[in-house]
Amino acid sequence: MKSGNTSYRMLDPDNCAMCGMCLNHCPTYKISNNESESPRGRISIIHGLNDSLLEPSESALKHINSCTLCMACETVCPAKVDFYQLMTDARNKYFKDQRIIFKIKTVLISFLLTKNYIKRFITLVVSTLNKKPLNKINKKLFKFMNYTQIQDKYAKINYNTQGNIGIFTGCASNIFQSDVANSCVKILKKNNINSEIIKNIECCGSLNYNSGRIKKGSKQNIAAMKEFRKDKYEKIIGYASGCSTFINKNKKDATYQDATSYVLEVLANNKNNNFKITNKNICIHMPCTTKSAEIDFSKLMAVLNNIPSLKVFTFEDNYCCGAGAQNILHNNENSIDIIKPKIEFIKSNNIDLVLTYNVGCSLNFINSINLKNINKVQVMHPITFLNSNLV
C-alpha cells in the first residue's frame, strides 16, 4: 500500500494482524471509544512514528503515554504481540520529544521515590499529613493531597530485625505502604520464620523503565539484582506486585518471590493460624500484575474465606483500575474515569475495606474514595489485613 511516495506496512513486523480482538479488553478504549486509545491504534501510531509517517507530536505521543501497561491486550492477542516491549521501546525512543512538563514530572517522581534519603523525608511528610488536624486541612486545600490520606495503617518501618528472608520494600510502597513490611515480619515470625527488611535498594527499576527511561531503569534493576544475589538471604520477597512483575521479567538466578504469594503459602502450610471474628464487608481487587507477579488469587480468596464473619466481595469488572505506568501522574482524569465502576461498586455494596497488593492501584483507590467523600472506606494491602486479623 502506498501513501504518496512512502510505502508502509499494514501488517506490522511484531505480528499485529489488526484483528481488533484486543479492543474490548483495553481500559482506555473502553472509556474513550477512540481507536487511537486502543492497543491496535497504539501499534499503528508506533509504526507511523517509526516509519516517519507521523511526527512525534504531542497529539501522537499522548496515546502512547496513556497506556496503563495493564497487558490485557497481550493476554488475549492471538498473534502474541509483545506489547510491553513495543510500548516501552516507543516510550524510550520518543522520550526526548515529550512535552517538557511530562519530562519534568517523570524525572522528578523518579528522583523523589528512589533516593533513600529523600524517601525518608517524604515518609516523614506523609506521616505528618496523615495526623489530625492536618489531614482535614490538606484534603480541603490541596487536590494532590488526596493521595496522602493514607488509609493503610501507617507505621515506621522497623529495620531492627534479622533473618534469612529478605523483604524488599520497593520505592512508592516503601513510603505509602510502610506497614506492610512490618506486617510481613510479624506473620512470618508467628510461623517461626525470621526475616529482615532490606535497607539499601533504591528501586527495582520499573518506575523508570516503564515510563521510557530504559537505561536508568535497567541500571537500577542491575543494582537491585546485585544486592539480591549476595547470598545473604535464602529468599527475597517484595510486596508491591508491580515490582514483582518487573523483577520476574528480568530475574536470572535470584531467589525472588512476591511477598503476598509467599505469605499465602506460609499460612496454608501451617494449620495453627487462626483468625479473629471480623464483621466487615471487604472487596478484593485483582491488580493487572497478578499473573505476572505469580500471585494465586484463588489462594488469597480461600484464606480470606476462612476468616469468621468476613463477607468477601470481588469487583464485577476485571478491567485495570487505571493507575499503571504513572497514569495517576500524567493522565489523572483517565485514571479517575477508569476506576469509576469500581468506586460505584464499593458504594452500592457498602464495602468497608478494599484490599489490593499494588501500590499504584492503592493510591488510585485512595484518591477516588477521597474525591467521592466515602472516607469510611479503607484501602489496605492483604498482608497488613491478614496480620491484623491473625490471633
- Binding track over 63-92 against ligand SF4, x by CB under 6 A: ----xxxxxxx---x-x-x-x---------
Query: CA 174 to CA 192: how far, in whole Å?
Result: 25
CB of 340: closest distance to ligand SF4 in angstroms?
16
Other C-beta atoms closer than 10 Å to the C-beta of 185 total 22
Rounded least distance, CB 41 to ligand SF4, Å? 8
Q: Pick out residues in 288-327 that bind ligand SF4 (CB under 6 A).
A: 320
Mark 10-39 with x for binding to ligand SF4 (rule: CB under 6 A) and - for no binding: ------xxxxxxx--xxxx----------x
Closer to ligand SF4 by Cβ: residue 43 or 243 = 43
Q: How far is the CB of 388 from ligand SF4 (least distance, A)?
A: 33
Find the binder of ligand SF4 among 31, 36, 40, 187 (CB under 6 A). 40
Q: How far apart are CB 32 and ligand SF4 at their closest, in Å? A: 11
Toward ligand SF4, which CB reaches closer, 287 or 382?
287
Q: In angstroms, what is the minimal distance from the CB of 288 to ligand SF4?
A: 7
Cell of residue 87, nine digits? 510500548
Q: Which is nearer to ligand SF4, 77 or 187 (CB)?
A: 77
Q: x/- site string to ligand SF4, residues 320 to 359, per CB under 6 A?
A: x---------------------------------------
Whole-number minimum distance, CB 162 to ligand SF4, in Å?
Answer: 41
Burial code (b: 16+ CB inside 10 Å, e: under 16) for 59-86 equals: ebbbbbbbbbbbbbbbeebeeebebbeb
Looking at the Cβ atoms of 84 and 154, the one nearer to ligand SF4 is: 84
CB of 148 to ligand SF4, least distance (A): 26
Separation between Cα atoms, residue 67 and residue 289, nearest integer Å? 15
**Residue (163 or 341) nearer to ligand SF4, CB:** 341
Nearer to ligand SF4, 79 or 312 (CB): 79
Strand partners, 354: 283, 379
Binding site residues, ligand SF4, CB under 6 A = 16-22, 25-28, 39-40, 42-43, 67-73, 77, 79, 81, 83, 320
